[in-house]
Homo-oligomer: A and B are copies of this chain.
């Protein structure tokens, strides 16, 4: 059966779910970001980039990989890297072979992210993980996998 796409107003239940999703990011996830920023001086964006450099690339990563992993627009990443470069957290360098740009974490970046990890872990546990049981977690992870797949098309 082909289901017609409805443009009727959202029902109360649908709206409730939609608002729950908005609040999830606006309120709960923001708490983690604010905590990190207040205690380490790294913005959420800074943390996202430095942690990926360390975890995905052991300190160096093609700019493209960073971009894909963050899901950002390229100009946003470029501006962000420029700012972080002036703060000596990382530097851009050329890949051996070709023309691509690589991004390398600098000592100050390493020190900062290492200091931020425990703060991040505490905040994530305190504001979020603590409130989710194992069964709910499993449901959420499956859901997100499905959503991601559907958006790839």
Give chain A's interface residues, CB within 8 Å of chain B: 5-10, 13-14, 16-18, 20-29, 31, 71, 117-122, 124-132, 135-137, 139-141, 143-148, 150-151
**Sample (11) of A-B pairs whose CB atoms are under 8 Å apart:** A7-B119, A9-B118, A13-B137, A23-B144, A23-B147, A24-B140, A24-B147, A25-B26, A27-B147, A127-B147, A140-B143
Residues of B within 8 A of A117 (CB): 9
> With A122-B5, A124-B10 in contact, is A21–B147 under 8 Å at CB?
no
One of B25, B31, B126, B143 near A132 (C-beta < 8 A) = B143
Interface centre among A16, A18, A27, A148 (most CB of B within 10 A): A18
Asked if A151 and B7 sit within 8 Å, CB to CB, the answer is no
- Asked if A136 meets B137 with Cβ closer than 8 Å, knowing A7-B118, A21-B28, A144-B20, the reply is no
Residue of B whose beta carbon sits closest to that of A55: B15
Q: Which of A5, A117, A139 has the most CB of B within 10 A?
A: A139
